[in-house]
Structure 1
């Protein structure tokens, strides 16, 4: 029995050896050279050049080896793909029935150039070729061409395509991006289904992006439809700017492609950036102008790592002194010009956004873009215990960008606002405002300087810290009033029930056209000035009336309560100063009192002189009274 088994095994080995020998002897791989090149030409339109002789490789599997190969577009200056060698793993038995069944095409250390120099007629006409292609073409004209160009009637099939340790040079405009360490595996699961494994890294300007992709591609209805099932896409981003704080993430989802009308749409698309997770739906319709419908939802978005990265890169970058360049040509650039390239709409909902100390809640954005003009239907979020909402437009059709927003600010707590903004402050209260704001730039560095518009401002339960207006006036009055007035209010702040102002915002300053405030002890009848949001300073002139709070009674106090007292407050938010000319005010008060006494004396003297019938003793009495009145005035 064992002898029979050995004999059968020997016969099998002999048959295999004879088959291989027959293959090597009777089938010359160079017979496939023109057929393979022509097949690639018919299928893709690109020209495959195989240099040197094709040769068999028997172990560990039957393969055809080539020397240098090149894949070029017609009319291109440089080849699209260059590889030192290529291996075609073939199935043995189909070769005897003139079927070149390739199990795998393996290309190692290839250089792939996707640059202007590698683009030829096929690259320029690729869009037209895809649009005009029909599913019936491969089964009719192609078969005829194969019969004419391949009289031996060899058949061709490919099950697997693999690229290892290769490089892609990709040119976008003037930027050259290098895709390195590329490993690509494209394999048939069945006749109309492919699996794709793709990984590598991208280098550009000391920035590295590592990626790994795994997906299934359903081509059962191609070219009319195709479905990409993105199983997983992992990535890691590093750069010299964010060294030690890399960005990581992944993505999964289903992407559907449709040819007529041409569109892409996603299902269950989810992705993450570090600890931030998002769900999204994207629908892109490729009409004459692309139409994009975008939805994004997230529970949390933490921008702090990105901001820290930006701050580090700014600190570590040396400032280079360069001579100024003078140009007579003024550059006009609309940062919103991209709005002209597509139409669409977007809805964004993020429950919480963090940026250092700043926390925004319930961020909602609803915007529609049509013919280069984006209409902002809703922009709203909660901030500092209040809410900010806006509607408006962004115009990308003009020479310069124009953004116009109708803005409402409700119940912002100023203490929380300044704390989150990391700004020194001396003003507390609940802030409300409404107005129309405009800007002609989107640059964060220039935004405050370029915002302008009118606003109506109201601050309730306001407190001006580190300055007590009433105490300033009382102390000044006591100093110039010979001690007749004792300051009562020793608090280190000024309180107002309400502050209202009409303002014009321009070049980073809030110009206060009108300013009114009231409290139990003083009123601000009218005021004006400016608040600098860029320089964090203010310069305000107030006209104040003291209503109460005096702890003593005198003619001076009574007079001060009737006059309007001018007060100037100025300086940095963190160190405010004041200016008050109380001496002039008191001088005006006293000169007014003296004038009234002199008027009374003049009246009395005139009355006495008119009475000629009075006796001489009466005249002497009147003189004594006049002297008494003058004496009292001098004492005052």
Structure 2
């Protein structure tokens, strides 16, 4: 037993010494410029990192940054900005001065999907090829670029289409994982407070981005939601369901299929699609196998 404990202590000392030497010998700021260039070359977004990068050893070997932002080309506002970012990296590649990112963690982020954050293409800019622009393999020596996991916590999502009113989703928690073919799974939860009403939503599913940005499909395997507040029944409205969604960039079309939703004791099924032209065009094919308006619309008290 004593020999086992002695061996364990020796291994622990070697591990601590190795990590300490690694932190001293490898400066995470050496990767800063290369990260910025690779993000710009592969996605067209401008990554900005404020402050020095630093190591965080326990419980996961990570690189910590201060404020960060991600801005599309020509956009007036960043698509993503966060107070801090954490990159969980693999240990062994660092021994040969290589960086392999396993997970990106953003906390306190603000994600804006608004006209101000969209890329502005100049008139003489070349048209991108039809092929998928997502990288499949890295041709750069000593660099593992694809992120297998993304985690967002305590964040805000702002959505706005054209001149419509902004919708803000707070308390966002997002966990995404993907394989080398850009197919993955995700979990999302958030809260919307608007017009004295409170909507809480959570969902999980799978996504296929192998042909992004030309085509993006997702299967929402489970969605749960609850709506409470003004002009609603006292018990509120809650439900669950599932559906499939597809975005077609060439047609600017968002489609929903195999819709199956519940709201209190009412049920909804069918399909829908919207084409985002100057005036959005909707096509709906919905059925209500069971509909109880008494539990959806509050009765006027006299």
Correspondence for 1:96: 95
> SS at 2:242's partner residue?
strand
Correspondence for 2:221: 231
Correspondence for 1:212: 202
Alignment of 1:378-393 (within 5 A): none
For residues 294 and 33 of structure 2, the distance between their equivalents in structure 1, rounded to whole angstroms, comes to 60
Q: RMSD over aligned Cα, in angstroms?
A: 3.6
Pairwise CA distance, 1:221: 5.3
**Structure with more of its chain in helix, by fraction:** 1
Correspondence for 1:596: none
Pairwise CA distance, 1:228: 1.5
Within the candidate set 156, 164, 186, 1:167 is matched to 156
Correspondence for 2:130: 134
Q: Rate the CA distance shift 1:224–1:74 in 2: closer, same or farther, 3 A.
A: closer
1:370-394 Cα shifts (integer Å, max 9, x gaps): xxxxxxxxxxxxxxxxxxxxxxxxx
> SS at 1:238's partner residue?
strand
Q: Rate the CA distance shift 1:208–1:285 in 2: closer, same or farther, 3 A.
A: closer
For residues 192 and 75 of structure 1, the distance between their equivalents in structure 2, rounded to whole angstroms, comes to 26
For residues 287 and 82 of structure 1, the distance between their equivalents in structure 2, rounded to whole angstroms, comes to 29
Q: Rate the CA distance shift 1:61–1:169 in 2: closer, same or farther, 3 A.
A: same
Alignment of 1:290-369 (within 5 A): 294-308=284-298, 311=300
Paired residue total = 298
Structure 1: segments with no counterpart, 5+ residues? 316-636
Correspondence for 1:183: 173
Q: Rate the CA distance shift 1:306–1:139 in 2: closer, same or farther, 3 A.
A: closer
For residues 88 and 263 of structure 1, the distance between their equivalents in structure 2, rounded to whole angstroms, comes to 35
> SS at 2:298's partner residue?
helix
Correspondence for 1:82: 81
For residues 178 and 221 of structure 1, the distance between their equivalents in structure 2, rounded to whole angstroms, comes to 29
1:580-636 Cα shifts (integer Å, max 9, x gaps): xxxxxxxxxxxxxxxxxxxxxxxxxxxxxxxxxxxxxxxxxxxxxxxxxxxxxxxxx
Q: Rate the CA distance shift 1:247–1:259 in 2: closer, same or farther, 3 A.
A: same
Contact 1:189 1:195 in 2 (8 A): no
Q: Rate the CA distance shift 1:171–1:225 in 2: closer, same or farther, 3 A.
A: closer
Q: Which 10-residue stretch deviates more, 222-231 or 42-51? A: 222-231
Length-normalised TM-score, structure 2: 0.81
Q: Rate the CA distance shift 1:226–1:169 in 2: closer, same or farther, 3 A.
A: closer
Q: Rate the CA distance shift 1:115–1:253 in 2: closer, same or farther, 3 A.
A: closer
Q: Rate the CA distance shift 1:28–1:166 in 2: closer, same or farther, 3 A.
A: same
Structure 2: segments with no counterpart, 5+ residues? none
For residues 294 and 121 of structure 2, the distance between their equivalents in structure 1, rounded to whole angstroms, comes to 46
For residues 84 and 220 of structure 1, the distance between their equivalents in structure 2, rounded to whole angstroms, comes to 31
Pairwise CA distance, 1:132: 3.8
For residues 61 and 280 of structure 1, the distance between their equivalents in structure 2, rounded to whole angstroms, comes to 46
Q: Which 10-residue stretch deviates more, 13-22 or 44-53? A: 13-22
Contact 1:68 1:85 in 2 (8 A): yes
Pairwise CA distance, 1:24: 0.9
Q: Rate the CA distance shift 1:290–1:98 in 2: closer, same or farther, 3 A.
A: farther
Which has the higher Rg, Structure 1 or Structure 2?
1
Pairwise CA distance, 1:209: 1.3
Contact 1:264 1:285 in 2 (8 A): yes
Pairwise CA distance, 1:230: 1.0
Q: Rate the CA distance shift 1:73–1:264 in 2: closer, same or farther, 3 A.
A: closer
Alignment of 1:28-47 (within 5 A): 28-47=27-46
Pairwise CA distance, 1:9: 3.5
Q: Which 10-residue stretch deviates more, 96-105 or 220-229? A: 220-229
Pairwise CA distance, 1:83: 1.9
Q: Rate the CA distance shift 1:190–1:2 in 2: closer, same or farther, 3 A.
A: farther
